[in-house]
A and B are shown apart, each in its own frame.
Chain A
Amino acid sequence: MSLSKIFCPKFLPKHLLASAKVVTNSGDCIYKPRRHLSSSDVQFAKLAQEKKPDWNRAVSEAEKIVGYPTSFLSLRWLLSDEIANVALHLRKLVGSNHPLLKTAKGLLYNGKNNMQAWGLIVLLISKAAGHSADIPDMEQDKAAGVLHSQRALAEVTEMIRTSHLVHKGLVNLQPPNNVDASGDMMFGNKIALLSGDYLLSNSSIELANLRNQELVELMSSAVRDLTEAEFVGPRDRQNNPLPAKPKAKQVEYKQFIENNLEPLIVSEALGNAQAEWTLRNVLNAGSLLGKSCQGTLKLAGHSEDLQEKGYLFGKHLALAWQACLDREPFQPGSSGSFSLVCAPLMFTLQNKPELYEHIEKGLENVDEVDYDLLRAEVLEGPGLELTKKLQKEHSQAALKVLNELPASDARTALANIIAAVQES
């Protein structure tokens, strides 16, 4: 995937790569790098690998099944003038505080949440489901067992996701509180905005080249959902999400609408821990992965019914994934901040609504929140257990779809990935 290529180590000084732990407030979780790329990082990476061996093995085996990592294809982006330019401009930002650098690091080192895995899953489900017999040989990548168009779609998925993360990493410089004297932040925003736009526009050209208008509409609606995610519930000045005030009466989340081209209804979910969490993360992740899986089955000429199942598979997998990431900041020995809309905290809030006054301290800036206090509360309550349960439900829903497909190496690889998510 292009952006992670341009953010490759040679453009960044060592000290930036060496930091072992990336904490983002703007993201949804704390990322712990697992793939070490610099020597000073080796020790930590080893530790991480020992802790969770299944994940890396599951992914690297899966990559072999579909030929090679999807992102390898995008090497050609590196040759474009625009990207060469971004790399140059990015160097100017080194030393500034602009979060674009954090985003760039995250793209490379955020372990489980890495972009490659998204494209990989799209390719695996493509291979696991196979394709209809009347697709000409020319359009197939026989060795990998997927269609060229499906490979392109996997790349589109990665580009859309990356573009969204890059745009999310802008800094709010809205006047009059703008204190950016150096202009670094403004320049960083410019580069981040243009890089994101570049990826988005290229994804739209790639999609157009597939000459399937239903697919274009589906994927565009996934982009829309991602943008919608950034408006759900209360926000601080930097647009970091805060949970809505818990409501006494809880409703169960359902997919509020039948046709997933329609936008999701937001207001009903707010204040209901599980419904709100699900809504946020369907918009933020589930929609894109779900629609990509749905789209790839569309390209293979499968029935509407199976396409719908593809959507459910991707959506549930993304949600299981997110639930797993949400639990990480509460592992023994963790410290520091975490996302205020992570599942464990939202469940805890639902149980102890009086804690919401601590959340409200972060309405201006989420850093004002007392994270140690909240962590202690979460560890006390049923939040973690409920999150684990939620994660299991979604893993199983994804496995259920998977089991309807014929047995194959690709299906096994997907099952391994789900298991790796589940076990951690």
Chain B
Amino acid sequence: MGSKTILNVRFHEKIGCLFFGSPGILRRRGCFFDGVSSRWLAQCGYLRTDTAVGILQVNRSQRNVQATAVSPMHPCVRPEQVMTTLRSYATMNTQQPGPMPEYQVDPYRLLEDDLKDVYSYIKTVLRRNTYQEGLYEIATYYFDGNGKALRPMVAILMARAINYHMYKENSALLASQREVAMISEMIHTASLVHDDVIDQSDFRRGKPSVNVMWNHKQVTMAGDFILAIASMMIARLKNNEVTLVLSQVVTDLVQGEFMQLGSKETENERFAHYLTKTYRKTASLMANSVKSVALLAGADEQLSELAYQYGRNIGLGFQLVDDLLDFVSSSAMMGKPTAADLKLGLATAPVLFACEKYPELNPMIMRRFQEPGDVERAFELVHKSKGLEQTQFLAKQHCQEAVRIANMLKDSPFQKGLLVTADYVLNRMK
């Protein structure tokens, strides 16, 4: 056990270098295992040691609390409903040891007025840009208001926090910043639409995905359409820097998708590959959209870099948790099938970690889990290993880093909202 722990710490220092630029952040936590929240694992009954049983019992009582909180959380949940569940998570977290303190701010409620029209506004813009019902219908399919709207929320939260940081009470949300929030959701959705064609998925957000509903050629065009309109909106902001930053996001998304086609031979390469891919596919959009709202506020290089780093860490944390949830969450909860990544041949963090203990996963990764039984076996090995805890640990590092960065901003409800968001990203259930 002891030697394993040391090994793990070393392994994480390597990742720490890649991720944060300095290994110190991870070393501060000391031993790898103390910070690991066993909630996911306990829930799924994967911990068998005596201490774990204790945690399991604690978690059982929590689960009852959760059950009531979670029951309205159908995949079709609205942001308002997420708010109530979010609060209960925040409360629950205080029962656990850990560095995440409790904040009385609920970002979704805080930004209720800003967020309530995001989807209808996007639909209005799309409506203005085509007279063709067929195109409009596909393009607006995912703007039904059932998404988490996480990207717009983070963008607006950061916008208001930065505005306050710079201009104190005389700060209102700029129209251009609101636009960036919409644009971030549109870019995200365009990429979802294209992902659905690529991956041939059946469900998303609890309803049939676009590729099941319509002609794939038209779906592809609808994705391009959303992107074109987003790009017109970007141009209308009339800010050269912001246009450059947001164009980079689209390129990152595509390059991330390309990276997903290949796999690397050695473990180290593989992890670096995975992390870069995760940045490009998820974190770049969050990082660059919050950077954009900072630039629009007139932030200097240092402040916009701070915003960027917050978004980047939130994004990485978010995706790590997403990869984790793919192993532990139920289909009904996620609104999409689980172990989906394995079925697509993708080795995400939990598998890569599990590989340390079970080298037999290596050939499976190389053949992209294509042989019969691979997916089931890999799924089982991941759960047997510490892969899920380690993934969560890593996600936690990023969320803590995001908190540390957000704490550099002047104190305001919005700045507090940024802290809560980091907590939400880490502890979300879907």
| Residues of A in contact with B (beta carbons under 8 Å apart) | 81-82, 85, 89, 164, 167-168, 170-175, 186, 189-190, 193-194, 196-198, 200-202, 204-205, 207-209, 211, 213-214, 216-217, 220-221, 223-224, 226-228, 230-232, 235, 237-239, 261, 263-267
Taking a contact as CB atoms under 8 Å apart, the answer to whether B217 and A208 are in contact is no
B251 & A168 in contact (Cβ 8 Å cutoff): no
* Separation of A175 and B201 alpha carbons in the complex (Å): 11
The chain B residue sitting closest to A240, CB to CB, is B217
Any chain A CB within 8 A of the CB of B214? yes
| A174 and B231 contact, CB distance less than 8 A | no
Of all chain A residues, the one with the shortest Cβ separation from B239 is A213
Q: How distant is the Cα of A47 from the Cα of B211 in the complex, in angstroms?
A: 45
Name the one of A82, A202, A223 contacting B231, with C-beta atoms under 8 angstroms: A223
Given contacts A189-B198, A217-B232, contact A230 B217 (CB under 8 A): yes
**When the two chains form their complex, are residues A200 and B224 in contact, meaning their CB atoms are under 8 A apart?**
yes
**Of A170, A174, A189, A221, most B-chain CB atoms within 10 Å:** A174
* Separation of A214 and B131 alpha carbons in the complex (Å): 23
Is the C-beta of B255 less than 8 angstroms from some C-beta in chain A?
Answer: yes
In the complex, A198 Cα to B248 Cα: how many Å?
12
- The residue in chain A whose Cβ has the minimal distance to the Cβ of B130 is A263
Contact of B217 among A170, A216, A228 (CB under 8 A): A170
Given A173-B216, A211-B243, 11 additional A-B pairs, CB 8 A = A167-B217, A167-B221, A189-B198, A189-B216, A194-B198, A194-B258, A201-B253, A221-B228, A227-B135, A230-B218, A263-B130
A190 touches B131 (CB 8 A): no
A-B contact count (CB 8 A): 153
Q: Are B227 and A200 in contact (CB under 8 A)?
A: yes
For the complex, what is the distance from the CA of A204 to the CA of B248, rounded to whole Å?
Answer: 9
CB-based contact B216/A232 at 8 Å? no
Within 8 A of A (CB), among B67-117: none
B98-157 residues with Cβ-Cβ distance < 8 A to A are 128-132, 134-135
Is the beta-carbon distance between B262 and A205 smaller than 8 angstroms?
no
Q: Nearest B residue to A199 by beta-carbon distance?
A: B254
Q: Are B217 and A227 in contact (CB under 8 A)?
A: no
Q: Is B212 an interface residue (CB 8 A)?
A: yes
Interface hits, B246-260 → A, CB 8 Å? 247-248, 250-251, 253-255, 257-258
Q: Quick check: A194 and B247 within 8 Å, CB to CB? A: no
**Closest beta carbon of chain A to B248's beta carbon, Å:** 7
* B214 partner residues in chain A, CB cutoff 8 A: 174
Residues of A within 8 A of B239 (CB): 213
> Is there an interface contact between B129 and A263, defined as CB atoms closer than 8 Å?
yes
B305 CB, min distance to chain A CBs, angstroms:
20
Judge whether B244 and A208 touch: CB under 8 Å: yes
**CB-CB < 8 A to B131: which residues of A?**
263-267
B5 close to A (CB within 8 Å): no
Closest A residue to B255 by CB, please name it. A82
| A and B contact pairs by CB, cutoff 8 A, 23 listed | A85-B258, A168-B217, A189-B197, A189-B216, A190-B198, A190-B261, A197-B253, A201-B247, A201-B250, A201-B254, A204-B231, A204-B247, A205-B250, A213-B237, A213-B240, A216-B243, A221-B232, A224-B228, A224-B229, A226-B224, A228-B132, A231-B135, A232-B132
Cβ-defined contact, B132 with A237, below 8 A: no
A213: chain B residues at CB < 8 Å are 235-240, 243
Given contacts A223-B228, A231-B135, A263-B130, contact A172 B240 (CB under 8 A): no
A82 CA / B262 CA spacing, docked (Å): 11
Known contacts: A197-B257, A235-B215. The answer to whether A266 contacts B235 by CB under 8 A is no
Chain A residues within an 8 Å CB radius of B211: 173-174
Chain A CB within 8 A of B194 CB: yes
Closest beta carbon of chain A to B162's beta carbon, Å: 23
Q: How far is the CB of A298 from chain B (nearest CB, A)?
A: 13
Given known A82-B258, A220-B231, A220-B232, contact A186–B200 (CB-CB < 8 A): yes
Tell me the bound Cα distance from A193 to B200 in angstroms: 13
Q: Cα distance A228–B236 when bound, in Å?
A: 21
Residues of chain A within 8 A of B253, CB atoms compared: 197, 201
Closest 9 CB pairs of A and B: A217-B235, A216-B235, A220-B231, A224-B228, A223-B228, A239-B217, A227-B225, A208-B247, A201-B250
Residue B283 lies at the interface, judged by CB distance under 8 Å to chain A: no
Give B230's nearest chain A residue, CB to CB.
Answer: A220
In whole angstroms, what is the CA distance A9 to B244 when docked? 35
User: How far, in angstroms, from A204 to B224 measured CA to CA in the complex?
Assistant: 12
Across-interface contacts of B224 in A (CB, < 8 A): 164, 167, 196, 200, 223, 226-227
**A193→B197 contact, CB < 8 A:** yes
- Are B231 and A198 in contact (CB-based, < 8 A)? no
B103 to chain A, nearest CB (A): 37
**Which of B228, B237, B261 has a CB less than 8 Å from the CB of A89?**
B261
Give chain A residues whose Cβ lies under 8 Å from the Cβ of B231. Answer: 204, 216, 220, 223
Is B132 within 8 A of A231, CB to CB? yes
Residues of chain B within 8 A of A216, CB atoms compared: 231-232, 234-235, 243
Q: How far is the CB of A247 from chain B (nearest CB, A)?
A: 18
Q: Check: B378 CB closer than 8 A to any chain A CB.
A: no
- The 0/1 profile, CB within 8 Å of A marked 1, for residues 332-345 of chain B is 00000000000000
In the complex, which of the residues A197, A217, A221, A231 contacts B221, with contact meaning CB atoms closer than 8 Å?
A231
- Which residues of chain A come closer than 8 Å to B215, judged between CB atoms? 172, 174, 235, 237, 239
- In the bound complex, what is the Cα–Cα distance between A183 and B430 (angstroms)? 31
Residue from the set B132, B229, B236 with the largest chain A CB neighbour count within 10 Å: B132
Contacting residues, chain A, for B255 (C-beta < 8 A): 82, 198
| Residues B194 and A193 in contact, CB atoms below 8 Å apart | yes
Interface: B222 (CB within 8 A):
yes
B59 at interface, CB cutoff 8 A = no
Whether, in the assembled complex, B304 has its beta carbon less than 8 Å from a beta carbon of chain A, the answer is: no
In the complex, B220 has a CB within 8 A of chain A = yes
Q: Which residues of B contact A82 (CB under 8 A)?
A: 254-255, 258
Q: Closest CB of chain A to B338's CB: distance in Å?
A: 20
Contacts of A267 in B (CB 8 A): 131
CA distance A127 to B215 in the complex (A): 43
| Contact residues in B for A168 (Cβ distance below 8 Å) | 217
Distance to closest chain B CB from A32 (angstroms):
25
Cross-chain contact A170 with B232 (CB below 8 angstroms): no
Q: Which of B129, B217, B262 contacts A238 (CB 8 A)?
A: B217
With the chains together, A209 CA to B261 CA distance in Å?
29
Q: Report yes or no: A214 in contact with B221, Cβ–Cβ below 8 A.
A: no
Query: Given the complex, which residues of A lie within 8 Å of B135, measured CB to CB?
Result: 227-228, 231
Question: B132 — which chain A residues lie within 8 A by C-beta?
Answer: 228, 231-232, 266
A237 to B217, CA, bound (A): 10
**Docked CA distance A201–B252 (Å):** 9
B135 to chain A, nearest CB (A): 4
Q: Name the CB-closest residue of B to A83.
A: B258
A217 vs B238: C-alpha distance in the bound complex, in angstroms? 10
Determine which of B130, B218, B225, B254 lies in contact with A198 in the assembled complex, contact meaning CB atoms within 8 Å: B254
Q: What is the chain A residue whose CB lies nearest that of B216?
A: A172
Q: Which residues of B contact A211 (CB under 8 A)?
A: 240, 243
Q: In the docked arrangement, what's the CA distance between A208 and B238, Å? A: 11
- Whether B251 pairs with A202 at a CB distance below 8 angstroms is yes
| Chain B residues whose CB sits within 8 angstroms of the CB of A221 once the complex forms | 228, 232
A205 to chain B, nearest CB (A): 5
C-alpha gap A401/B334 in the complex (Å): 58
Per the bound structure, the CA–CA distance linking A85 and B131 in Å amounts to 38
A196-B219 Cα distance, complex, nearest whole Å: 14
Q: For the complex, what is the distance from the CA of A211 to the CA of B227, rounded to whole Å?
A: 19
Distance of A418 Cα from B239 Cα, bound (Å): 39
- Distance of A168 Cα from B216 Cα, bound (Å): 10
Complex Cα distance, B280 from A82, in Å, reads 14
**Least Cβ distance of A74 to chain B in Å?**
16
Partner of A171, one of B216, B236, B250: B216
With both chains docked as a complex, state the minimum distance between the C-beta of B3 and any C-beta of chain A, in angstroms: 39
Residues of chain B within 8 A of A164, CB atoms compared: 224
